[in-house]
Structures are given as structure tokens and as C-alpha cells.
Amino acid sequence: MHLHLVKKDFLLAKKYWIVLLIAAVVLPVFIQTKLTAGGEFPAFFLSTLYVVFLLFNTVSMMEDKYRGAALLCATPYTRTALVAAKYLFIFSVFFGCFILYTLAVLLSPVTISMIDMYDFGRALLLFTVIFGVLIPVQYRFGYEKSRYIFFFLVFLTPFVLPGIMKALQHDNAGTMSPLPFSSPLLGLLFVLLAFVIGGISLSITIRIYSTRNL
């Protein structure tokens, strides 16, 4: 049942598939060529964030325009299933971007570095924190109102992005040193933490959506 709802989100954004597929491969290569050594994490994270946000925004716009969720909620699809499918959609695009990045590393004529477990873990954690806030905010305030909130955040990006880029590109060892874990184990802990945050966000969104008038 969830699978069909995830498929529905992909269908709603079908016009943008090709562009975003290309972006998911080309963007990380381009970003990495502009950065110094250790640029694989910001390259992967920022390109994935861009692709997922555009897809998420496109689907939300379609949902707001056609209000198809009202029809689906009148069928045996539950509101919980609709919300869970939204999270599944977002995370499946994230994993899709990871696969495309890996393919780009293997096939690109430009030398770019592979993402290790640590980078994958912190990318997933950051990604979960961002969408773990974005999704409930959108369900709470609706597409139109939340657009203004996100617009304000995007407006802030040029001011804070250089700082974030520097921090993300910072030597991995420096960020790991206070913790007594190996790099892959720390990555795994980040993945687990991402699942916990994702789960909390999911339950908040389900609660918000269960009382919403459609």
C-alpha cells in the first residue's frame, strides 16, 4: 500500500525526473572539482539536498493544487499511510542520490572520491534533521504558508552557506576526536540517530495530519 503512495509522489514529479537525475550525477562532480581535498561530503550532501528539496517541493505543490489527498483519505488509505509514504519517498530519493553519486564516482572521467560510512552517516543525519523539521512544518502550516518560511531560510543561505561549507569540509579527524569511536562506527551511530530523529518527526507529522480538515 505504501509503495503505491510512494510511486504516486514519483509520478507527480515525473516532468522533472530527467533534469534531477542529471543534477544528481553532475552536481556532486562539479562541486567537488571546485573544492579542495575532502570535498566529497559537501558535494554529495548539497547536491542531494538540492535534488530532494526540489522533488519534495514539486510534489507538495501538486498536492496543494489538486488536493488529491482528500480523495485518497476517503478510500481505505489511512492518513498515517499517506504521511509514512511521504517520508519513504524522501528517503528513497536520498538513497537514489547516493547510488547515483557512487555510479558517478565509478564512471566519471573526473577523479572524485567515494563517500565512506562516516560521511554517509552524517549526510543522512543532517538530511533527516532538515526534512524532519520541513515535513511537519509543511503539514502544520500548509504548502503556501510554509513556502514563506522556507523562502526566508533560502534567503539566509548566501550568508550562512560559506561558513557551513567550511565546517563541512573541515578535517574529519578534528570533528571525531572527542568521541572514542572509529570512523565507520561513528557513521553507523549517525545512521541510527537519523532513524530515531526520523521516527520522532514521523510521529509528530502523523499527529498533525490526523486532525487536519481536508
Partner 1 sequence: MKPILEVNGLTKQLGNFQLKDVSFSLTEGCITGFIGVNGAGKTTTIKLLLGLIQKDAGEIHFFGENVQSKEREFKSRLGIVLDEGYFYEGLTLLEMKNIVAAAYSHWDNSLFNRNIERFGLSLNQKIETLSKGMRMKYAIALAISHHADLLIMDEPASGLDPQVRMELRDILLEYVADGKSVFLSSHITSDLDKVADTIILIDNGQIVFSEEKDILLDQHGLVKGDTKELNDQTRNLFLTLQETEYGFSGLTKDKASVRQQMNNTLIERPSIEDIMLSYIGR
Taking the least distance from each CB to partner 1, the nearer of 27 and 82 is: 82
CB of 200 to partner 1, least distance (A): 24
- The one-letter amino acid at 68: G
Write b or e for each residue in 164-191: b if 16 or more Cβ atoms lie within 10 A of its Cβ, otherwise e.
eeeebbeebeeeeeeeeeeeeebbbbbb
Torsion angle, alpha carbons of 88, 91, 95, 97, to 10: 120
CB of 91 to partner 1, least distance (A): 20
Q: Which residue in the set 34, 36, 37, 74 belongs to the binding site for partner 1 (CB under 8 A)?
A: 74
Taking the least distance from each CB to partner 1, the nearer of 12 and 46 is: 12
Taking the least distance from each CB to partner 1, the nearer of 67 and 145 is: 67
C-alpha cell read off for 61: 505543490
Query: Three-state SS for 122?
Result: helix
The answer to the question of residue 15 lying near partner 1 (CB under 8 A) is yes
The answer to the question of residue 72 lying near partner 1 (CB under 8 A) is yes
Q: Which helix (H) or strand (E) holds 6?
A: helix 2-12
Contact set with partner 1 (CB under 8 A): 1, 4-5, 7-8, 11-12, 14-15, 62, 65-68, 70-78, 211, 213-214
